[in-house]
Structure 1
């Protein structure tokens, strides 16, 4: 078969050209060059030329990893590493709480967000004030194991996460699409950071082993100076790379979300059947109630990430029904947990932990009901996927407010 003659013969027949291409792409490309030389004015061949040579003619203004923001990112990464190492020194001296290590990373990520998406000055001042307030308040608290203090350590990162979201969204903090982008950023950031961290751990293990061969044990020095510095700096680098719209993270996260949803659903069903079979009781078993709430938070996180990774123009598919089933199961778990904590409050009295767990369960229950109602409307073709995404993004500030309430009032209320 003379492909040269066939391409020329069918140059006005797009369907036949497509068939020839699929039959033997390499031969088609070779034959196409011959046909293009003879008929550069053909509209059909012009479209094929763009299709075959698009990569060679890619936009020269495509963002590069080494833009002007790269130097600023590098500076922030070094500062984050140094700050984290200094904070760790005081943690080792037991002068401050270990939770202070977050202040060696989060402010520098926020600084990069502000640089990348400059907000109004009022927003910058508000972010700076919230950060300073958090640092001063945390370090005024006593270093003890009181329940209210431990709750501060658990809720402060949530508050700072929402605070970081304000830096990410900038002036668009009230817009749903900006909040949705922030949730997606977290998933992509976590994936990218995990990949780089695993590579770093392998490098660290090899380095320490090489030094052992020459009779030197550098574990303590390496961890305190190299690993700690690298872990903090890597967070800034990961934030920068995600902001550069890397295809790796963006292409793989939707598949991770779709794969994990059915796996979590199956695992959760098996687990619930098992605990009923063995007779575990969250009303009486405190540790089991804590684990129950941990499962609830995990299911909520998987559901939220799956929803945010769905395309708003995508038609309903099996993933949507899996998500709806997951939300239904999460509601069942939450109602059981709520009943258990109310029982424990009425039977054993009020404590900071019980009040905090009660508040979290009420917030999650309200959010799950909102998401579930939105999903029902979506599955009934009464609303689009954006309605479900709104149920997720518009509720995020509520979690931040609750975290702030626990952080700044519980040590006073339960002194």
Structure 2
């Protein structure tokens, strides 16, 4: 009876290992079976030497090396397969994965087409894309992000309640963008136009984590998804720019000028559809090209750290203060966002079990230098607001500054504990994912409350 229980426990361990391996897109079913045969052989040899099943399993897995190392080795030995994974077809012999990829492709095409059609619907009511005005500036993401959220919720097999929650939040965004009585020259328009897309992006995040809303890991996955999605979107935009340049050139050569098609059809439809396509690419190619954003952080973290330290040294040398106005405050808000992004994507790519190293110290220096600079900016900006009064813009910028400052301040403390070996890495990651609702609450407060508080001016 004891042997049977031991065999059952060992089989459970093999089942868990197999499920973990098969989540790696580099390894198709035949690879997983080959690795499992090798693992079972190693376990049998160790058991024959006198070890119990649990000990043999752990030692055999350790001997095989980390799964990421195995993935990299397979990528080197099967480079042709790696490139095939960037295409639409799956690996022969893995019918389940191929079938799921095809379903995802069809769903993405439907959602991308829906986004492209949505942005042309306002023309039925006299709202042309090339018209001046704030309509498309306020509504652009409302034509694309609901479709992206729908695609992600479909992939997560979300229930009807989730679709209802997502739809309700997007409707609230649409009401703010179109029903608030804001004139085109009001400051409230700018506040809504810049904050509503961010608030709606966090609604996309709800769709992303709909399979496990409370999971810190899933929230960190969404942070990774956001960075990779942005990178893909930039690459698609660069490719689209080349396409437009070629269209101009080749059609102009035959005295045909495709301006109408390019600016009223290709550009708006391509823009919103690419937001859906970018999300599909990140989902489909995880594990193949999933580390672009973290790699970029490794390059830019030292550069930004040096730049900020040089700025602080210059302030101390010259003895001159920072001249702060609304534009400067927005610039320093963006600085905090960049520093936060560099930290987040470094965290997302880091092995949680790895000991602290020089790069962690560098990150701490980056965060602390940003905090010192921002403290100087806030000191000056608070005096200006007290002297000249408040506007929707400076209240929004000041609030975002404080929200980001609170996050980075506690992050710096946790990083300091980690660097001094008095705290764990997991605490830093948990803090970042737990703080996401704070961003959502502030963004929606800016969008829903600030315009009426300031009389929509």
Q: How would you bin the TM-score normalised by the shorter chain?
A: 0.7 to 0.9
Matches within 5 A, 1:297-308: 297-308=337-348
Match of 1:183 in 2: 223
Query: Does 1:60 find its partner at 2:94?
Result: yes
- Report the aligned-residue RMSD: 2.9
- Structural mapping, 1:244-259, within 5 Å: 244-259=284-299
Q: 1:109 aligns with which of 148, 152, 164?
A: 148
CA contact (8 A) 2:108 2:277 kept: yes
Q: Label 1:355 to 1:230 Cα distance change in 2 as closer, same or farther (>3 A).
A: closer
- C-alpha deviation, 1:339, in angstroms: 1.1
Which deviations, in whole Å up to 9, do the C-alpha atoms of 1:131-176 show, x marking residues without a partner? 1121122201223222223212211112111111111100422211
Q: Equivalent residues in 2 for 1:171-250 (5 A)?
A: 171-250=211-290
SS of 2:413 mapped into structure 1:
helix
Residues 224-260 of structure 1: CA distance to partner in whole angstroms, max 9, x if unpaired? 2113222222221221121123444314333222111
User: Among 87, 106, 116, which residue is 1:81 paired with?
Assistant: 116
Is 2:106 the counterpart of 1:71? yes
- Give the match for residue 100 of structure 1: 139
Residue of structure 1 in register with 2:45 after alignment: none
**1:121 matched to 2:160:** yes
Unpaired segments ≥5 residues, structure 2: 1-40, 43-62, 65-69, 82-90
Q: Deviations over 1:86-139 (max 9, x none)?
A: 347445444835220111110000000110002343332111111112112220
Secondary structure at the aligned position of 1:250 is classed as coil
Residue 276 of structure 1 deviates from its aligned partner by 5.6
Task: State the distance in 2 between where 1:87 and 1:218 align.
Answer: 22
Give the SS at the match of 1:143: coil
Secondary structure of the structure 1 residue equivalent to 2:97: coil
| 1:325 equivalent in alignment to 2:365 | yes
Aligned to 1:265: 305
Mapped to 2, the partners of 1:95 and 1:258 lie a distance apart of 38
CA–CA distance in structure 2, aligned partners of residues 339 and 326 of structure 1: 20
TM-score by length of 2: 0.74
**How far apart, CA to CA, are the structure 2 residues paired with 1:293 and 1:73?**
34
Kept in 1: contact 2:329–2:397 (CA 8 A):
no
Partners of 2:292 and 2:134 lie apart in 1 by 43
Contact in 2 for aligned 1:331/1:365 (Cα 8 Å): yes
Q: Which has the higher mean CA deviation after the structures are superposed, 376-385 or 161-170?
A: 376-385
Secondary structure of the 1:262 match is: helix
Which residue does the alignment assign to 1:11? none
Cα distance in 2, alignment partners of residues 95 and 308 from structure 1: 37
Structure 1: gaps (5+ residues)? 1-42
CA-to-aligned-CA distance 1:299-351 (integer Å, 9 cap, x gap): 22222222222222222222211111111012112212221221112111222
**Which residue does 1:130 correspond to in 2?**
169
Partner of 2:356: 316
State whether residues 87 and 104 of structure 1, in contact with CA within 8 Å, keep that contact through their aligned partners in structure 2. Answer: no
